[in-house]
Amino acid sequence: MNIILFEPTEIGKPLPKRDARAVHLLKVLHKNTGDSFDAGVVGGSLGIGLIEAVRLDGVVFSLDVKKSPPPRLPICVSVGFPRPIQLRRLLRDLSNLGVEAIDLVGTDMGEKSYRDTKLLIDGRARAALVEGAIQARDTRLPLVSAYAALDDWLADRPWDRERDTLASASGRDRSFRISPILIATDNVRPEGSFGLLNTLGHPVVVAVGSERGWSDRERNELESAGFLRLAMGSRSLRTETACIAAVVLAMEKTGKLG
Amino acid sequence: MNIILFEPTEIGKPLPKRDARAVHLLKVLHKNTGDSFDAGVVGGSLGIGLIEAVRLDGVVFSLDVKKSPPPRLPICVSVGFPRPIQLRRLLRDLSNLGVEAIDLVGTDMGEKSYRDTKLLIDGRARAALVEGAIQARDTRLPLVSAYAALDDWLADRPWDRERDTLASASGRDRSFRISPILIATDNVRPEGSFGLLNTLGHPVVVAVGSERGWSDRERNELESAGFLRLAMGSRSLRTETACIAAVVLAMEKTGKLG
């Protein structure tokens, strides 16, 4: 754990000793009463935690958190619903990278049953997002949404609602309301290569299909909605790998690689 | 399975019905006697397999494999030994991406016990590489080597031995013997950003440290060996994510993104 994150509701209560964070503080970092540690509040700010006491009912701590979390990437990702076990890792990794939003979308070629996962409502998705944020020393989590079909996502255009935060993450004035570049990864029928794109200063919305790719019907829908179909090399990649690749390329193209 | 891969020793023998490939052919793809399927030989060529008979002792098949496998990337990756469970996924994903070589390297800040994994000798590493190749419809596997310490890897300079294949994968004449660009990812003390690099036509050797990064001693060793330390964004990434990111950026920079 690169930082100890607390939910807002956990502040002011002792952290139970069986909690993984308490175990990490006491057994891995060998911290004790009077020691401080890197801390943050989920959705809030960053700073220092102080162990006030280690009691039978848990670790009593105080927080001094005034620092802003790191900036988010002006990047939204949509992805065809993967297997639940892959979904957890995907959410963790995209949260680690710091994307603004993750939209899970049912696709024509995707396995329909994957959409029925309880993971998004039983706390496991949130736990995966928190794990990714901890790795990145971040407090903020990507916004996660689910859509039954690509058409629903394209009709909803969530990136229009997110335009203010995306513009701000791009380093642009919010009033500029710059349009995002809309990209769909497609190694089967691409219109060009992701390598040739230049999106400097623009936010990016990138749609990654399911492992079997897009149907031609979906290609038409994407095209009508203004999406460019771009290839990332010529090999068929696993969904998780394709998502990481797409985000890293979008980072490079938006000048957010540092 | 995007393709059914056979080891050279398996050709001419029936494929046992319990084998995952036989199950995939018969139960998932619903193939039967007389049906053909995409096939390849590990380390060899690609083409078509034909089911000659489905017998009690297994699936009898013949192969017509004359096509060359897809080109490999002119990219070698070295990475600090991750946890064994992460190592399997890492080998699979780097094989999926098609890198030339993967060197596992003990680092100052890495967990020493991770180097003792049996995974590299008990067949699990090879199985992970094959899984990645199947996803990419490839027959060739990256060369995997292990080094106890970064110093050993830098002293061995395996990229000099691999120079011919790297030059050829870069699309250069082997006689050209072009030097690879040597990069170490480093978000803590970078000399520049991966985003500003241009390696068009050059092979790339990229060294990713362990999750805790490089020691200053290792930074000096890398510098003496000619490695540039480059940042990939400002966030601390998981080892697997960092490796995928580094390879995808190297693909982009070498013009191998398609």
Q: How far apart, in Å, are the Cα atoms of B80 and each of A150, A170, B153, B189, B217?
A: 40, 33, 11, 17, 15
Question: Which domain CATH number covers B13?
Answer: 2.40.240.20
**How sure is the predictor about A161, in pLDDT bands with cuts at 50, 70 and 90?**
confident
Contact A136 B231 (CB under 8 A): no
Mean pLDDT of A109-126: 91
Does residue A251 belong to the interface with chain B, where contact is any CB pair within 8 Å? yes
Q: Which residues of A touch B237 (CB under 8 A)?
A: 96-97, 135-136
How much is the pLDDT for B177?
63
User: What whole-number distance in Å separates Cα of residue A10 and Cα of residue A93?
Assistant: 25
How many Å is the maximal CA-CA distance in chain B?
A: 63
Task: Examine the domain organization and report whether B98 and B225 are in the same domain.
Answer: yes
**How sure is the predictor about B188, in pLDDT bands with cuts at 50, 70 and 90?**
very high
**Neighbour count for residue A29 (Cβ, 10 Å):** 13
b/e map of B219-254 (b: 16 or more CB within 10 Å)? bebbeebebbbbbbbbbbbbbbbbbbbbbbbbbbbb
Q: Which residues of A touch B70 (CB under 8 A)?
A: 234-235
User: What whole-number distance in Å separates Cα of residue B115 and Cα of residue B225?
Assistant: 23
Examine residue B103 and state whether it is found in any structural domain, yes or no: yes
pLDDT at B118 over 70: yes
Return the residue in A244, A247, A254 with the most chain B beta carbons within 10 A, the one to mutate for interface testing: A244
pLDDT at B29 over 90: yes
Q: Alpha-carbon torsion A22, A24, A30, A36, what sign?
A: negative
Residue B194 is encoded by which pair of tokens?
Answer: 């991966």
Alpha helix (H) ranges present in chain A?
20-23, 84-97, 124-135, 150-156, 158-161, 163-169, 216-224, 239-253
Q: How far apart, in Å, are the Cα atoms of B252 and each of A232, A237, B50, B51?
A: 9, 16, 38, 41
User: What whole-number distance in Å separates Cα of residue A212 and Cα of residue A219?
Assistant: 13
Residue found by looking up tokens 């969904």 in the block: A239
Examine residue A164 and state whether it is found in any structural domain, yes or no: yes
Examine residue B55 and state whether it is found in any structural domain, yes or no: yes
Q: How far apart, in Å, are the Cα atoms of A225 and each of A109, A144, A220?
A: 19, 21, 9
How much is the pLDDT for A173?
57
pLDDT at A112 over 70: yes
Write the single-letter amino acid at B218.
Answer: E
Task: Examine the domain organization and report whether B201 and B222 are in the same domain.
Answer: yes
Number of domains within chain B: 2
Exposed, middle or buried, A45 (CB in 10 Å: 0-12/13-18/19+)?
middle
- Which strand ranges, in their side-by-side order, compose the sheet holding B228-231? B143-147, B101-105, B75-80, B204-208, B181-185, B228-231, B192-193
Mean pLDDT of A91-101: 97
pLDDT tens digits, A232-251 = 998 999 999 999 999 999 99
Mean pLDDT of A106-123: 92
pLDDT at B154 over 90: yes
DSSP-derived letter for residue A13 is S
Pairing of strands A101-105, A143-147: parallel
Write the single-letter amino acid at A85.
Answer: I
Lowest mean pLDDT among A99-103, A167-171, B105-109: A167-171
How much is the pLDDT for A192?
92
How much is the pLDDT for B172?
61
**Please, are residues B97 and B140 in contact by the beta-carbon 8 Å criterion?**
no
DSSP-derived letter for residue A27 is I
Question: Which domain CATH number covers B220?
Answer: 3.40.1280.10
Examine residue A190 and state whether it is found in any structural domain, yes or no: yes
Whole-number average pLDDT of chain A: 92
Which of A22, A51, A67 marks a domain boundary? Answer: A67
Cα R_g (chain B), whole angstroms: 20
- The kind and range of the H/E element at A57 are none
- The kind and range of the H/E element at A104 are strand A101-105
How much is the pLDDT for A174?
55
Task: Examine the domain organization and report whether A53 and A128 are in the same domain.
Answer: no
pLDDT at B98 over 80: yes
Task: Examine the domain organization and report whether A218 and A94 are in the same domain.
Answer: yes
Which of B25, B49, B67 marks a domain boundary? Answer: B67
What does the H/E/C string look like for chain B? CCCEEECHHHCCCCECCCCHHHHHHHHHCCCCCCCEEEEEECCCCEEEEEEEEEECCEEEEEEEEEECCCCCCCEEEEEECCCHHHHHHHHHHHHHHCCCEEEEECCCCCCHHHHHCCCCCCCHHHHHHHHHHHHCCCCCCCEEEEECCHHHHHHHCHHHHCHHHHHHHCCCCHHHCCCCEEEEECCCCCCEEHHHCCCCCCCEEEEECECCECCHHHHHHHHHCCCEEEECCCCCCCHHHHHHHHHHHHHHHCCCCC
How much is the pLDDT for A172?
62
How much is the pLDDT for A228?
96
Examine residue A143 and state whether it is found in any structural domain, yes or no: yes
pLDDT at A63 over 80: yes
Query: What residues contact residue A128 under an 8 Å CB cut-off, 6+ apart?
Result: A88, A89, A91, A92, A95
pLDDT at B175 over 60: no
Task: Examine the domain organization and report whether B106 and B160 are in the same domain.
Answer: yes
pLDDT at A90 over 70: yes
Question: Minimal CA–CA distance to A50: which of A18, A59, A138?
Answer: A59
Mean pLDDT of A159-183: 73
Beta bridge partners of A193: A231
Query: Out of A93, A138, A258, whose CB is closest to B195?
Result: A258
pLDDT tens digits, B37-68 = 999 999 999 999 999 999 999 999 999 999 99
Examine residue B42 and state whether it is found in any structural domain, yes or no: yes
Mean pLDDT of A164-174: 67
Residue B168 is encoded by which pair of tokens?
Answer: 């050829």
ipTM of the complex: 0.91
Residue B90 is encoded by which pair of tokens?
Answer: 């890492």
Task: Examine the domain organization and report whether A84 and A9 are in the same domain.
Answer: no
Task: Examine the domain organization and report whether A41 and A169 are in the same domain.
Answer: no
pLDDT at A166 over 80: no
Which of A33, A48, A67 marks a domain boundary? Answer: A67
Task: Examine the domain organization and report whether A58 and A79 are in the same domain.
Answer: no
How much is the pLDDT for B36?
97
Contact A238 B135 (CB under 8 A): yes
Residues spanned by the domain of B31: 4-67
User: CB-hemisphere CA count at 13 Å for B76?
Assistant: 28
pTM of the model: 0.92
Examine residue B258 and state whether it is found in any structural domain, yes or no: no
- State the angle between helix axes of A239-253 and A84-97 in degrees (0 to 180), rounded to the nearest 10: 20
pLDDT tens digits, A181-227 = 999 999 999 999 998 887 777 899 999 999 889 999 999 999 999 99
Task: Examine the domain organization and report whether A49 and A123 are in the same domain.
Answer: no
Query: Out of B70, B187, B252, whose CB is closest to A235?
Result: B70
How much is the pLDDT for B135?
95
Q: How far is B64 from chain A (nearest CA, A)?
A: 22
Residue B196 is encoded by which pair of tokens?
Answer: 């500003």
Closest residue of A to B86, CA-based?
A: A89
**Please, are residues A93 and A245 in contact by the beta-carbon 8 Å criterion?**
no
Question: Which residues of B, range 133-162, sit inside 8 Å of A by Cβ?
Answer: 135-138
SS3 of residue A131 by DSSP: helix
Examine residue A136 and state whether it is found in any structural domain, yes or no: yes
Task: Examine the domain organization and report whether A24 and A149 are in the same domain.
Answer: no
Task: Examine the domain organization and report whether B55 and B177 are in the same domain.
Answer: no
How much is the pLDDT for A49?
97
**Please, are residues A240 and B248 in contact by the beta-carbon 8 Å criterion?**
no
Question: Which residues of A, range 40-99, sit inside 8 Å of B by Cβ?
Answer: 70, 92-93, 96-98
pLDDT at B225 over 60: yes
Question: Minimal CA–CA distance to B50: which of B32, B66, B67, B68?
Answer: B32
How much is the pLDDT for A231?
94
How much is the pLDDT for A201?
78
Task: Examine the domain organization and report whether A184 and A222 are in the same domain.
Answer: yes
